[in-house]
Chain A
């Protein structure tokens, strides 16, 4: 069997999710022995042509050029895995979907006419079929290794889609919402981080996006009783996974 090829692609993003691959200090060299890293611009100037067995895609689609580019990447990729909140949900830059992008451009740039941008920031799955979506802002290193291993050997990744609460309990942490009255999005947020924030005496702020079947209406009274005002609540759901939480809230109302 020939060595499988891996490609890493970037769209609108902060580079943090592809950096997660380079942060696998103990595994990077052995991974490089198992796969041929054929396209990873952040790490290598050696670029090999497709097709690629597995493509990791970071970032969201915010320009017409990028909407075209992702179609070429899909066509050249055996399996396409999106990594991180930008690629799976549009990222924090999807806040523009709820505002006026022309106004945004005029606030940041003196000459907005130079700027080429779409009115929306959309996940990769809105443009091409995606084989797996790995959540997180940023993604978790162990989960990335699990997904890569699974796709390279041809099995399904073992990535639980339960809530952060399950991880928090498993870690034996005291519930920050019950014990301290700290507002926490753990009950509705997709697992994967290992309950990082409660471990720092902080409430979860939802950077992995909504879990499947998140019951957001049930959480709202709890957040209010922890002292959050309506605009605080609106803002805490409107960050790195704003579009995903917004879709989830609509489902709950529908």
Chain B
């Protein structure tokens, strides 16, 4: 029986649950997003084209795609960025975290907790709250527009850095806007902390980028809650993608096991590296040093937004225009691995280049395909624990469970329509 289309996810997919004799036999997240074959047509393209081409995999997190692509290609070509350029890349990425997290918190996720179909309906009763969210989101987009040239598919990112680095005075108005946004971000944490959260604890292995000096965003090595740690180059040895019949997204396994990446993983592995203000916000919102409740991911996103706004302000305060906008990247044959923390989780790219700088092969592992197996696992448990609910209520609960992960189905391949079969 088809119950509904899954809304407020980026992209389109369906959930198929089969219940036989009161047992959950199967819970499958079907991803219908038509395949677009990026990895195939990247073959034979110039390495310099990868950031702009892969950005088009996802309109919600293009900076993540651009950054992971740059990291991988820079590694293949054996160059490292000048420090100020790495910092500018982090500032741009903070813009995407603020914008994407706020989109998810206010427009996609909060309506679930408050019983509204969408943020427009929420705004009928609480216009000031939605306006605050939109102002916060706008501050994130302002960073993307100023540094990147535009919010969706920025034009100023290139392998080796940027086409043009902004001047210090150009960044000044941004600091004013972000100072106001920092208060909105803290108010957001206080607001989402008042929601009611079902008591759920996940026992999946969590995996996130880790950087020894800072909360990992634009680069890092990989660490996992089971103690396993590895470099981006070792990613293919640990993570293997499988193709399952019910989805155009590939399912990834970490050393043969289901695992989860994203805000819960980042927070659980790296929360001690958050700023004092973000840690205090987290504490006031009732978070401990780790968080394994997927419903509370909205609180973690809000805390990360506080951090990203503060981090952007810090970078702007210390900003000196880099001596050059980019580092030259001479082509050479080689293989490079790159990753970054997309708002939805770890995004890995691998490229093999020939001596002329053409891409011989490309491999991209987006967060949603890494999380899909774990999401299905959680759905199975949610359905099993709530079989007494009638179909509409069970559907709503399943949809909420999926939205906890902010799945970006565009990335993984897209339309969620939910089918419950009871036999």
Contact = CB atoms under 8 A, between A and B. Distances in A.
B149 A199 contact: yes
B416 to A, nearest CB: 8
A22 B242 contact: no
Contacts of A137: 56, 153
Contact of B34 (A12, A47, A205, A240): A12
Nearest to A116: B34
Contacts of A199: 149
A17 B103 CA distance: 15
Contacts of A22: 103, 107
A126 interface: no
A14 B11 CA distance: 8
B37 A29 contact: no
A10 B137 contact: no
A130 B53 CA distance: 27
Contact of A42 (B8, B40, B130): B8
Contacts of B7: 41-47
Nearest to B130: A29
B164 A109 contact: no
A63 B153 CA distance: 25
A253 interface: no
A107 B37 contact: yes
B60 A96 contact: no
A196 B153 CA distance: 11
Contact of A32 (B5, B123, B135, B151): B123
A111 B59 contact: no
A182 to B, nearest CB: 9
B279 interface: no
A248 B275 CA distance: 53
A74 interface: no
B43 interface: yes
B60 A45 contact: no
A14 to B, nearest CB: 4
Contacts of A25: 134-135, 137-138, 141
Interface stretch (B243-251, B259-267, B346-354, B379-387): B243-251
Contacts of A240: 56
A121 B131 CA distance: 39
A14 B149 CA distance: 19
Contacts of B130: 29
A37 B402 CA distance: 23
A202 B155 contact: yes
Contacts of A196: 149-150, 155
Nearest to B244: A114
A230 B36 CA distance: 26
A148 interface: no
Contacts of A50: none
A22 B33 CA distance: 21
A51 interface: no
Interface in B85-133: 103, 107-108, 111, 117-121, 123, 127, 130-131
B294 interface: no
A46 B138 contact: no
Contacts of A40: 118
B164 A16 contact: no
A47 B108 CA distance: 15
Contacts of A108: 35, 37-40
Count chain A CB atoms within 10 A of each CB in B62, B119, B123, B150 and give the residue with the most.
B150
Contacts of A16: 56, 58-60, 62, 152-153
A200 interface: yes
Contacts of A117: 34-35
Count chain A CB atoms within 10 A of each CB in B36, B107, B118 and give the residue with the most.
B36
A201 interface: yes
Interface in A2-32: 10-17, 19-20, 22-23, 25-26, 28-29, 32
A57 to B, nearest CB: 14
A41 B403 CA distance: 13
Given A14-B59, A25-B137, A44-B120, A235 B46 contact: yes
B126 to A, nearest CB: 11
B118 A46 contact: yes
Contacts of B164: 200-202
B118 A138 contact: no
B197 interface: no
A235 B36 contact: no
Contacts of B325: 201
A200 B153 contact: no
B45 interface: yes
A162 B40 CA distance: 34
Contacts of B137: 23, 25
A49 to B, nearest CB: 13
Interface in B16-42: 33-41
Nearest to A139: B152
A95 interface: yes
A116 B30 CA distance: 13
Contacts of B155: 196-197, 200, 202, 205
A196 to B, nearest CB: 5
The 9 nearest A-B residue pairs measured at CB:
A16-B59, A44-B118, A46-B117, A45-B7, A104-B40, A202-B163, A25-B134, A104-B37, A25-B138
8 contacts: A12-B34, A15-B59, A28-B134, A44-B7, A121-B36, A200-B155, A202-B163, A239-B49
Interface of A: 10-17, 19-20, 22-23, 25-26, 28-29, 32, 37, 40-47, 62-63, 66, 91-93, 95-96, 99, 101, 103-105, 107-111, 114-117, 121, 137-138, 193, 196-197, 199-202, 205, 207, 232, 235, 239-240
Given A14-B56, A37-B120, A42-B8, 12 more contacts: A15-B414, A16-B152, A22-B107, A23-B152, A25-B141, A32-B120, A41-B8, A44-B121, A45-B118, A92-B36, A138-B152, A197-B149
